[in-house]
Structure 1
Amino acid sequence: MSAPSVLIAGCGDVGSRLATQLLAAGFQVYGLRRNVSRLPEGVIGVAGDLFNEDCPETWPVGAVDYLVYCAAATEHDEAGYRAAYVQGLQHVLGWLDDYGQVPDRLLFVSSSSVYGQQDGEWVDEKSETVAAGYSGRVMLEAEQVALNSGIPASIVRLTGIYGPGREWLLTQVRRGYRVAVDPPLYGNRIHADDAAGLMAFLLEADRKGVALDDVYIGVDDAPAPLAEVVAWLREYLGVTEWSEDESVRRTGSKRCSNARAKALGWVPTYPSYREGYAAILEGRC
């Protein structure tokens, strides 16, 4: 049996981590991004721009067994989001159609921003999606493009991704970051390696004939109040000073559940922020 092929459209940080895992699992991996020199070794580069409707010259001409759409917006406004997630996906689907390629499954990387809950509620894949901002509304629109594409599709709603190179919170804690304690501001996170690992797990499951649901939430086992995470990091880093700025309170507070993915057999390598941040700070990931 020939190796299954996967095209990762928007092969940036998480996409490259996914590519590395899939290569180790025996997949043939194509990575679509503007600068293909930054792709991991072994990935077949497809130099292209998701924002341009012209098909890349190096588009694969053979079968594409799986498509992972893993784009990132370059402009953080409604137009930028629509260009990255709706129009970009439409472009890729059009290129597949041009070549008569029908993947076995499409994974579309979405976001937990589609949930507007703000009072610490537990959220799962069946929870109401009433996005509070344009990012969530555009993501919901893009999800429908994926689900209506004619390709069997699964949406992966990732929560706050952290990892090497994604260390905003660590930087803020070192500066004495303050955060509101009461009422608790719940946050959800997933290590970048686990975000990639969940997608690799879903592709392997599909490859084995396992029936997949249309939506999965990508999150670790332990949503936690931001104040708790900050306190733990302060102690771990030995930070004793506080910033003179007033306490920061972001909007939104919910707890996302990974029960559906875990019921399928997925287990995160970093089950909570403790293991994940410790691995980053000790240089183990």
Structure 2
Amino acid sequence: MSAPSVLIAGCGDVGSRLATQLLNSGWEVHGLRRDVSRLPQGVIGVAGDLFNKDCPATWPIGAVDYLVYCAAATDHDEAGYRAAYIQGLQHVLEWLGDYGQVPNRLLFVSSSSVYGQQEGEWVDENSPTVAAGYSGRVMLEAEQVARDSGIPASIVRLTGIYGPGREFLLTQVRRGYRVAIDPPLYANRIHVDDAVGLLAFLLEADWRGVALDDVYIGVDDAPASLAEVVGWLREYLGVTEWAEDASVRRAGSKRCSNARAKALGWVPKYPSFREGYAAILEGR
């Protein structure tokens, strides 16, 4: 059997990390982004703009076994989200149609923002999706575009991604970040290596003939209150001062479950924030 091929549309940080992992497993990887010079070595560049309806001149001619859509919005308003997640996906699907390409499966990288729960409830793939803001609402519309594409689709709702280069919380803690303690504000996170690992795991499982569900949540094993995370980081970093600002409580509080992905055999490398942040701080 020949090596499977994948087109990663929106091949930025997460997409490039996924590309590298799949290349190491023998996959043929095409990466679509504006500046293909920034793609990892070995990725076949597709120089294109998701926001432009014109098909890229370097679009792959042969079979495309898998499509991973993992774009990131450049403008963080509703129009920007619509352009990145709905219009961009529609353009890619049109380009596939132009070449008569029907992938085995589409992985659409979505977000846990589609869940608007605010009272610390446990959330899984069957929980109601009542998004609280425009980002979640747009993501739900984009998920529907993926489902209606005519390609078997799996939606992967990633939670807060952290890792090397994604260290905003660490910066806040070093500055004495204050958070509300009661009621607890539950947050969900996944190390970038585990986010990529889950996407690769699903692709490889499908290639082996494993039946996939239509939705998976990408999260570690232990959603925790933000106060618990900040407290642990303060102790680890030796931070003793507090900022003068009053305690902050962000909107939303839920605990996401990864039971469905783990039932399929996926195991996160970093089961909680403790292992993940320790690896960052130790340079691993």
Q: TM-score normalized by structure 2? A: 0.99
Give the distance between the partners of 2:147 and 2:193, measured in 1 at CA.
26
Count how many residue pairs are aligned between Structure 1 and Structure 2: 284
1:74-130: per-residue Cα shift (whole Å, max 9, x none)?
111111100000000000000000001000000000000000000000000000000
* Structure 2 letter corresponding to 1:245: D
The reply to whether residue 114 of structure 1 matches residue 114 of structure 2 is yes
> How far apart are residue 186 of structure 1 and its match?
0.1
1:35-88: per-residue Cα shift (whole Å, max 9, x none)?
111111111111111001011111100000000000000111111100000000
Look up the SS of the partner of 2:122 in the other structure: strand
1:165-213: per-residue Cα shift (whole Å, max 9, x none)?
1110000000000000000000000001100100000000000000000
Look up the SS of the partner of 2:184 in the other structure: coil
Look up the SS of the partner of 1:2 in the other structure: coil
Give the distance between the partners of 2:25 and 2:214, measured in 1 at CA.
24
1:3-35: per-residue Cα shift (whole Å, max 9, x none)?
110000001111111111111111000111111
Look up the SS of the partner of 2:80 in the other structure: helix
Give the distance between the partners of 1:13 and 1:271, measured in 2 at CA.
22
Give the distance between the partners of 1:161 and 1:54, measured in 2 at CA.
31
Look up the SS of the partner of 2:137 in the other structure: helix
| Aligned position for 2:8 | 8
| Aligned position for 1:68 | 68
Look up the SS of the partner of 2:108 in the other structure: strand
Identity of aligned residues (%): 88
Give the distance between the partners of 1:38 and 1:268, measured in 2 at CA.
27
Give the distance between the partners of 1:158 and 1:46, measured in 2 at CA.
25
| Aligned position for 2:237 | 237
Look up the SS of the partner of 2:268 in the other structure: coil
| Aligned position for 1:90 | 90
Look up the SS of the partner of 2:283 in the other structure: coil
1:117-266 correspondence to structure 2 within 5 Å: 117-266=117-266
* Structure 1 letter corresponding to 2:55: C
- Unaligned 5+ segments in structure 2 are none
Give the distance between the partners of 2:135 and 2:26, measured in 1 at CA.
35
- Structure 1 runs of 4+ aligned residues shifted over 2 Å read none
- Unaligned 5+ segments in structure 1 are none
> How far apart are residue 2 of structure 1 and its match?
1.4
Task: Tell which deviates more after alignment, 40-49 or 114-123.
Answer: 40-49
The reply to whether residue 29 of structure 1 matches residue 29 of structure 2 is yes
Give the distance between the partners of 2:108 and 2:5, measured in 1 at CA.
17
Q: TM-score normalized by structure 1? A: 0.99
Look up the SS of the partner of 1:137 in the other structure: helix
Give the distance between the partners of 2:239 and 2:34, measured in 1 at CA.
40
CA RMSD of aligned residues (A): 0.5
* Structure 2 letter corresponding to 1:49: D
* Structure 2 letter corresponding to 1:273: F
Task: Tell which deviates more after alignment, 141-150 or 32-41.
Answer: 32-41
Look up the SS of the partner of 2:213 in the other structure: coil
Look up the SS of the partner of 1:80 in the other structure: helix
Give the distance between the partners of 2:55 and 2:12, measured in 1 at CA.
19
Give the distance between the partners of 1:32 and 1:106, measured in 2 at CA.
15
| Aligned position for 2:275 | 275
Give the distance between the partners of 2:20 and 2:233, measured in 1 at CA.
29
Give the distance between the partners of 1:121 and 1:255, measured in 2 at CA.
6
Look up the SS of the partner of 2:103 in the other structure: coil
Look up the SS of the partner of 1:190 in the other structure: strand
1:239-268: per-residue Cα shift (whole Å, max 9, x none)?
111000111110000000000000000000
| Aligned position for 2:78 | 78
Give the distance between the partners of 1:5 and 1:163, measured in 2 at CA.
27
